[in-house]
Chains A and B, each alone.
Chain A
Amino acid sequence: MNSIVSRAKELLENKSVQVIVGFEAGPTGKARPAFVTYPSKTDILIFDERCVQNLAVYLTKKEVKQFGKIGIVATLPIMRSIMMLISEQQVFAENIEILGVSTEGKYLDIADIQVMQGYIEKCDLSNPSNDQETLAMLNKMSMQEKFDYWQNELSTCIKCYACRQACPMCYCTRCAVECNQPQWIPVQANTHGNMEWHILRAMHLAGRCISCGECGRACPVNIPCHLLTMQLADQAHKYFNVYAGTSEKMSSVLSTYEPNDKESFIL
């Protein structure tokens, strides 16, 4: 997209940013993340329907942060991730520039975080429609059927943690599965250990998942693990009336107590 290239070039030329995180086309035709540091190299940047990865994952990566200020090509899920990262104080608004892309694939001029917030608020923030359909199908199942479905899906997990690594919200430098005193989650990739891992990850993302689906896309063995976090995104909306990544001052639904919180589940 020409406007992304010219904006990226401008930002690098006037030294507003030191690196642009965007997409390029790899030799086999897949779109992949690109890190451009010279104005003359911005021509490699592309944006088309192949560009679906959630690039916000790189905002907390040490080697990328070392460049300095980052310009990032941001679709709606990426914008929402950035908002979450700001609200959780992992990223600071003054350290990033947004090269926005609308849900129709058009360039968006996003001057600052308030403009981005305005855009996010105008968008449909529910889960992608194909995932909504699968979730509706799963929600019709009995408890036992659901359990069997997930046991079957998760039995093939090899614990490569691509789901975690691809997720911008899984930014912990030491994940709970890496603690062994106590060992919260069995290390072995058997059905039991796999289920504990995926349930733990889903719970840690409850109300924080912005429904990008990156965890499911990253999975080398096609486990639809994004449905777990998306289901909780639905629940967070249903019970707390919030969508993650809509404000830079958002508090997490599961780690904040409000005196008027519903407590019906206790009684």
Chain B
Amino acid sequence: METTHKIIRKHSLEKLYVTLLENRKIYAPVKQADNLIGYQYNPAFSEVTFDHLQSTLSVKNVVFPKVENLFYYTNNKTDSTVKGIDLEKFPEVVLWGAHPCDTAAYDVLRSIFCWDIKDEFFAARLEKLVVIGLACHKSDALCFCTSVGLSPDSSKGSDILLVPLNNGDYKAEIITEKGSRIVAESPEIFENYGDETVNVTVVEQKFDHKQLTSKLSNAFEHPFWLANSLRCIGCGACAYVCPTCACFDIQDETRGKNGKRYRSWDSCGFGLFTLHTSGHNPREVQSQRWRQRILHKFSYMPERNESLGCVGCGRCSRACPVDMNIAEQLQALQSI
């Protein structure tokens, strides 16, 4: 459908929020007690932040939770019975106020989870998700969305995108059918848009991702990886805060006769990730794991999934205990 532009007055936002809460769950950003920004289900509107730079964790967990139960089983003497998960019961969720880097990440995740075989858990959760994005009026030195083909007001992945205006109101870009249905529920909130000026931050472009991808296709043996990953301590913070990292581990947990199979987040930064049963590890040292992280996002994914595995949110750089600044490294890689 063609995008339509409307205006939501600042004072009408609460009405929209409350209307949505009547028959859906809302997942919205709040300032937590520990001063970090985190998303919570159904916070009071007064708690919701519109002013944050970014949440510590991404919002990928709405479609790819840190633990997803896949099925339950009972082991009897001679056979086993399996009880599946009712995907119909996944709740309808409105993601409120996610920035464009986060909303664009759902497309990247789709390119992984629905690449050939459709992952039914991911697809069912995404189907039930309505995304109300919020363009950024703030950015910092670690943001680099404009280097990966996005922008602080990109509408990719949003059903409705709210763009802050200079007067404190919001322009509402209604992008999809899901978005239109929300407008239809409270049409009086959405006024006609004139030519009010938007208040959107500027993010400087740091590298050209196409040039980078072509450079990386021959960079596998480059000494860059070792020299620039010596300080990497091999934790999974970067992967777990990343909105597009999609690797998972599958485990069975049994107590007596009953158990469940679940998947949980995993990270290519861990040594265990590629450890073979034989004891051999094809990615024996951290430099090889750091190389994998960069190549997967900026070389393998563009080549195989036709999507870039990064949305330039900069979370990995903010979360890293040893300042592995990804944009700095990508910038340097472009000119090796």
A interface, size bucket: 35 or more
Complex formed: what's the CA distance from A188 to B65 in Å? 11
Give the one of A31, A188, A190 with max B CB within 10 A: A188
Instruction: Give the segment of A85-93, A214-222, A227-235 that binds chain B.
Output: A214-222
A35 at the interface (CB under 8 A from B): yes
Interface residue ranges of B294-336 to A (CB < 8 Å): 319, 321-323, 325, 328
Chain A neighbourhood of B38, CB < 8 A: 156
Interface residue ranges of B247-277 to A (CB < 8 Å): 249, 251, 253, 262, 264-265, 267, 270-272
Complex: chain B residue closest to A64, CB-CB: B230
If the complex has contacts A188-B67, A220-B319, are A26 and B325 also in contact, measured as CB distance less than 8 A? Answer: yes
Asked if A189 contacts B66 (CB within 8 A), the reply is yes
Asked if B240 contacts A158 (CB within 8 A), the reply is yes
Interface residue ranges of A132-168 to B (CB < 8 Å): 156, 158-162, 164-166
Asked if A221 contacts B56 (CB within 8 A), the reply is yes
B142 at the interface (CB under 8 A from A): yes
Question: Which of B141, B262, B285 is within 8 Å of A188, CB to CB?
Answer: B262
Chain B neighbourhood of A34, CB < 8 A: 231
Asked if A61 contacts B286 (CB within 8 A), the reply is yes
Shortest CB–CB separation between residue B242 and chain A, in angstroms?
A: 11
Asked if A160 contacts B264 (CB within 8 A), the reply is no
Shortest CB–CB separation between residue A110 and chain B, in angstroms?
A: 23
Question: Which of B142, B236, B287 is within 8 Å of A63, CB to CB?
Answer: B287
Chain A, residues 50-80, CB within 8 Å of chain B (1/0): the string is: 0001000110011110000000000000000
Shortest CB–CB separation between residue B264 and chain A, in angstroms?
A: 5
Asked if B36 contacts A221 (CB within 8 A), the reply is yes
Question: Which of B236, B249, B285, B325 is within 8 Å of A160, CB to CB?
Answer: B236
Complex: chain A residue closest to B230, CB-CB: A35
A1 at the interface (CB under 8 A from B): no
Complex formed: what's the CA distance from A187 to B233 in Å? 21
Complex formed: what's the CA distance from A190 to B262 in Å? 12
B234 at the interface (CB under 8 A from A): yes
Complex: chain B residue closest to A37, CB-CB: B227
Complex: chain B residue closest to A220, CB-CB: B319
Complex formed: what's the CA distance from A33 to B230 in Å? 9
Complex: chain B residue closest to A156, CB-CB: B38
Chain B neighbourhood of A105, CB < 8 A: none
Complex formed: what's the CA distance from A221 to B67 in Å? 17
Shortest CB–CB separation between residue B217 and chain A, in angstroms?
A: 25
B172 at the interface (CB under 8 A from A): no
Complex formed: what's the CA distance from A222 to B32 in Å? 11
If the complex has contacts A26-B325, A62-B285, are A220 and B56 also in contact, measured as CB distance less than 8 A? Answer: yes
Chain A neighbourhood of B253, CB < 8 A: 183, 186-188
Complex: chain A residue closest to B36, CB-CB: A222
Question: Which of A53, A63, A156, A221 is within 8 Å of B321, CB to CB?
Answer: A53
Asked if A220 contacts B231 (CB within 8 A), the reply is no
Chain A neighbourhood of B66, CB < 8 A: 158, 188-189
Asked if B270 contacts A158 (CB within 8 A), the reply is no
Give the one of B141, B239, B240 with max A CB within 10 A: B240
Shortest CB–CB separation between residue A107 and chain B, in angstroms?
A: 23
Complex formed: what's the CA distance from A90 to B230 in Å? 19
Complex formed: what's the CA distance from A166 to B237 in Å? 11
If the complex has contacts A53-B322, A188-B251, A189-B66, are A28 and B141 also in contact, measured as CB distance less than 8 A? Answer: yes
Lowest 8 A-B CB distances belong to which pairs? A218-B321, A32-B323, A162-B235, A220-B319, A160-B236, A165-B235, A33-B231, A165-B233
29 inter-chain pairs at a CB distance below 8 angstroms, sorted by A residue, are A32-B231, A33-B231, A33-B322, A57-B233, A58-B230, A58-B231, A63-B226, A63-B285, A158-B57, A158-B265, A159-B265, A160-B236, A160-B240, A162-B233, A162-B321, A165-B234, A166-B233, A178-B272, A180-B251, A187-B264, A188-B251, A188-B253, A218-B237, A218-B321, A220-B319, A220-B321, A221-B56, A221-B57, A222-B36
Taking Cβ atoms with an 8 Å cutoff, the residues of B that contact A are 34-36, 38, 56-57, 66-67, 141-142, 226, 229-231, 233-237, 239-241, 249, 251, 253, 262, 264-265, 267, 270-272, 284-287, 319, 321-323, 325, 328
